[in-house]
Amino acid sequence: MAIIDVRNLTKTYYTYRRGSSFSDTIKSFFRRERTCVNAVHNVSFQVDEGQITGILGPNGAGKSTTIKMLTGTLYPTSGHISVMGYTPFRDRNTYVNHIGAVFGQKSQLVWDIPPVDSFQMNKAIYSIPEKEYRNTLKELIGMFELEDIIEKPTRVLSLGERMKCEFVMAMLHKPKIVFLDEPTIGLDVIAKQKIRSFIREMNRQGVTFILTTHDLEDVEQLARKVIIINHGQKVFDDTLQKLKMNLGAKKIIRLVLAKPVAEIKLEGIKVIDRNSDFEYTLEVNLENSSINEIIKRLSEMCEFSDISIKELPMEKIITEIYKTTV
């Protein structure tokens, strides 16, 4: 069942072009050339309840504009948005009680007071009953192990500690949908894994997440569905598995040879990196051959001491999609 329904969504901005010379500046006082910018153009998609959906795209593609329209902070120029039956920009006062948001580059916490005081502020804003607030806060703090953190001033906390507190802040009123914009930006590996584990646990409890990020590991570990926007237009909308198959059935093989060979040349195999006479990285096409057949043919050609097989890097897949939509 679709919890988010977006149809023909468009957001148009108007800017004014002005030259850099003195004469151009003078002319602009009397006549300015207006330029139309389609930040989002005719985008349609649906998100099912309980999904984790990744929205990807290069800088300036229209991701953040789309998220802002979904949260109700921007009015669309045209199109239809329905989230849980609400029209975000029209029903904002009621709608915001059912959503949460975590922005990696914009904090909700008050800098000079402890996070626990910011939590109390959200308790008042969302009119959370005392007993429910205490139970929810205890559960969230326990999941993040923040017992010794929340009474320190926010300014003395590390980035990882602050981001964990941001998630607590966003989840206190038990939203049905949470919008995440670069939630793991700048975090170390341990902090990222903790936050990803938290998102998965909340998702198991029925929370729907919309994730925008440039960290493709977030998408690979969390999202089941991926939407890609480029130049304001939707260029992909399907499962993560379908995205991985977008460039065909390909794998990456890393090969460590026991003895050097003159070259590795087989049909369906492309050498993409050669670190030394002993180390090769190969891209293999499995459209017409199985991985077992490929390995057998390699073993007949050369003797190797180690081999590893991986999926095609997500960065390569995404980059190729961007290139085809320039």
Q: In this structure, what CATH number is given to the domain that contains residue 306?
A: 3.30.70
* One domain, residues 223 and 266: no
| Pairing label, strands 208-212, 233-239 | unpaired
pTM for the complete prediction? Answer: 0.83
Question: How far, in Å, CA of 94 to CA of 90, rounded?
Answer: 9
Same domain, 212 and 176: yes
Same domain, 164 and 305: no
The residue whose two tokens read 């569905």 is 225
* Number of domains forming the structure of the chain: 2
Residues 25 and 165 in one domain: yes
How far apart are alpha carbons 71 and 91 in whole angstroms?
11
Q: CA 91 → CA 7, 47, 87, 177, distances in Å?
A: 18, 19, 6, 15
Print the domain residue range for 281. 250-324
Say if residue 273 is in the same domain as residue 136: no
Distance of CA 72 to the CA centre of its chain: 19
Identify whether residues 135 and 256 lie together within a single domain.
no
Query: For position 283, what pLDDT does the model report?
Result: 87
Using DSSP's 3-state secondary structure scheme, residue 32 falls into: coil
Which of 181, 213, 244 is the last residue before a domain boundary? 244
Question: What pLDDT does residue 177 have?
Answer: 97
Pair (203, 288) in one structural domain = no
Q: Are 118 and 154 in contact (CB under 8 A)?
A: yes
240/293 same-domain check: no
Residue 149 is predicted with a pLDDT of: 92
The CATH number linked to 109 is: 3.40.50.300
Q: Based on the domain organization, do 157 and 283 belong to the same domain?
A: no
Q: Which of 229, 244, 259 is the last residue of a domain?
A: 244
Is the same domain home to 49 and 196? yes
In a shared domain, residues 257 and 227:
no
Final residue belonging to a domain, choices 191, 211, 244: 244
Q: What tens-digit pLDDT sequence spans the chain (326 residues)?
A: 799 999 999 999 887 776 667 676 677 777 777 788 889 999 999 999 999 999 998 888 888 899 999 999 899 999 999 999 999 999 999 999 999 999 877 888 999 999 999 999 999 999 999 999 999 999 999 999 999 899 999 999 999 999 999 999 999 999 999 999 888 888 888 889 999 999 999 999 999 999 998 888 899 899 999 999 998 999 999 998 888 777 667 888 898 988 888 888 888 888 888 888 888 899 888 877 888 888 888 888 888 889 888 887 777 788 878 777 65
- For residues 69-100, one letter each, b for 16 or more C-beta atoms within 10 angstroms of the residue's C-beta and e for the rest, the string is bbbbebebeebebebbebebbeeeeebbeebb
Together in a domain, 160 and 293: no
pLDDT of residue 98: 95
